[in-house]
Amino acid sequence: MARTAPTGRKGRLLRRAVVLALACAAATAAAPPLPAADGTPAGPAAAPAAGGWRGWRTPPAVRNQELRAVAALGPDAAWAVGYEDSAAGGAPLVERFDGRSWRRLQVPGHRGTGSLEAVLPFGPSDVWAVGSRSDPAVGEDRGLALHWDGRGWREVPLPAGPADRSSHPLALAGAGPHDLWAVGATAHDRTTAPRPLVHHWDGRAWQTVPTPGTEGDALLLGAATDGAGGVWAVGAAYDPDGTARPLAEHWDGTAWRIVDVPRPEGRSTTLESVAAVAPDDVWAVGSTTTDDGPPHPYLLHWDGTAWRPAEPPAEAEGQLHAVAAGPDGTVWAAGEQPGADIPGFVLRRRDGAWTYHPAAPSAAGASFFSVAPVPGTGTAWAVGSTQPRLEDTWRPVIGSYTP
């Protein structure tokens, strides 16, 4: 994606997962006042259409905006988070769906660059979001955790890490309001020498939990609970030459351990997201590539004993960024095919088979970074961003798909 300013393979991955505009922290666009907590709708009142895509239009962006994650409680309650450019460099962005329209919510402000990367609701008045914000005094980023209590957002302090390392929580998973996990990475100078990061919320405070050591650099990008007290986290570890290999770690209630993952020979492979239908039915997604070739989707399935590769639909090309499981056992994945006129697509697995669903033609240029099934409906939300041709800004994208 041309919107980043990469510093090598690890730098590209971490920048995309944290804040796409970190290299542009001195943005000059003036930021208009934030709407109130129940501000103007982010799209027209409508209901998801049956039998295909429904695009939820947002007002034209006067500066860069992107949605990084989405989660839903039901047909009248969904949340999406991300970031937008501001005069200071960036600001967290939150939108809420009430069954009729998406509305922008006010969040605590921070000096410098800020972004939200994951959101997890336990109820209409119990929603968590995590990301990072800049610390201008030392030129690093600090982890950011926000909680919604039904009236507003407040920041909940995360454990303080080393002053000379950035902290980037990138994913959330939880069995309940008193058992919540945030995973991600720490890094020098925001993107170099990444190491896995894991925090746990016990209902009273966040605590850092140690993870197994890996040889060389590594980071965690996705997390999921398995319904039986276990937690999966996935990401990438790096060989000395910078080649990525897929990384999976499992919490068994006592400690984290690394679990072997198949690695395609001669390819750089990253896992970005994981979702569990049951302890013996877990899916992880990402992408695999050679130095001179395009990326290809990478699917893995855990059957309770081992991780095994799975074949995506033949039409699916590019990268898979997210996977999510619905209460009915349906599994959704979302991704993009870089360079395509319509990059964004979702995959749906039901009755043992995957199907491919490209974004609607109206979403030309759109990339999807997150997907969320809507309980009780069969519909799924997908969010990301798009950069219209001949325009300098990229805009948030929200779509709903109904089979």
Predicted pLDDT at 31: 29
State yes or no: pLDDT of 294 exceeds 50: yes
CA-to-CA distance for 340 and 363, rounded, in angstroms?
Answer: 12
Phi first, then psi, for residue 10 (nearest 5°) are -65, -40
State yes or no: pLDDT of 47 exceeds 80: no
CA-to-CA distance for 344 and 337, rounded, in angstroms?
Answer: 7
State yes or no: pLDDT of 60 exceeds 60: no
The rounded percent of the chain whose pLDDT value lies above 90 is 67
State yes or no: pLDDT of 23 exceeds 70: no
Q: Picking from 68-72, 73-77, 209-213, which range would have the lowest pLDDT averaged per residue?
A: 209-213
Burial readout 280-310 (b: 16 or more C-beta within 10 A, e: otherwise): ebbbbbbbbbeeeeebbbbbbbbeeeebeee
CA-to-CA distance for 25 and 310, rounded, in angstroms?
Answer: 40
Predicted pLDDT at 110: 59
Contacts 24+ apart (CB under 8 A), 32-37: 32/62, 34/104, 34/106, 34/107, 34/109, 35/103, 35/104, 35/106, 36/106, 37/105, 37/106, 37/151, 37/152
Predicted pLDDT at 41: 52
Look-up: residue for tokens 């925001």?
Answer: 190
> Could you tell me the pLDDT band of residue 111, with boundaries at 50, 70 and 90?
low
379 Cα distance to chain centroid? 19
What distances in angstroms separate CA 1 from CA 16, 343, 365, one per listed residue? 9, 11, 11
The mean per-residue pLDDT over the stretch 314-330 comes to 96
State yes or no: pLDDT of 8 exceeds 90: no
State yes or no: pLDDT of 128 exceeds 90: yes
The mean per-residue pLDDT over the stretch 10-36 comes to 37
Predicted pLDDT at 402: 95
CB 83 within 8 A of CB 68: yes
> Could you tell me the pLDDT band of residue 79, with boundaries at 50, 70 and 90?
very high
Cβ-Cβ contacts under 8 Å for 127 (sequence gap 6 or more): 79, 119, 120, 121, 147, 148
Q: Picking from 89-93, 98-102, 111-115, 244-248, which range would have the lowest pLDDT averaged per residue?
A: 111-115
The rounded percent of the chain whose pLDDT value lies above 70 is 83
What is the model's pTM?
A: 0.89
The mean predicted confidence, pLDDT, of the chain is 85
Look-up: residue for tokens 């991780």?
Answer: 307
Cβ-Cβ contacts under 8 Å for 24 (sequence gap 6 or more): 5, 85, 89
Q: Picking from 15-29, 138-152, 206-220, 388-402, which range would have the lowest pLDDT averaged per residue?
A: 15-29
CA-to-CA distance for 96 and 103, rounded, in angstroms?
Answer: 5
The mean per-residue pLDDT over the stretch 182-193 comes to 94
pLDDT tens string 225-237: 999 999 999 999 9
Q: 130: exposed, middle or buried (C-beta count within 10 Å: 0-12, 13-18, 19+)?
A: buried
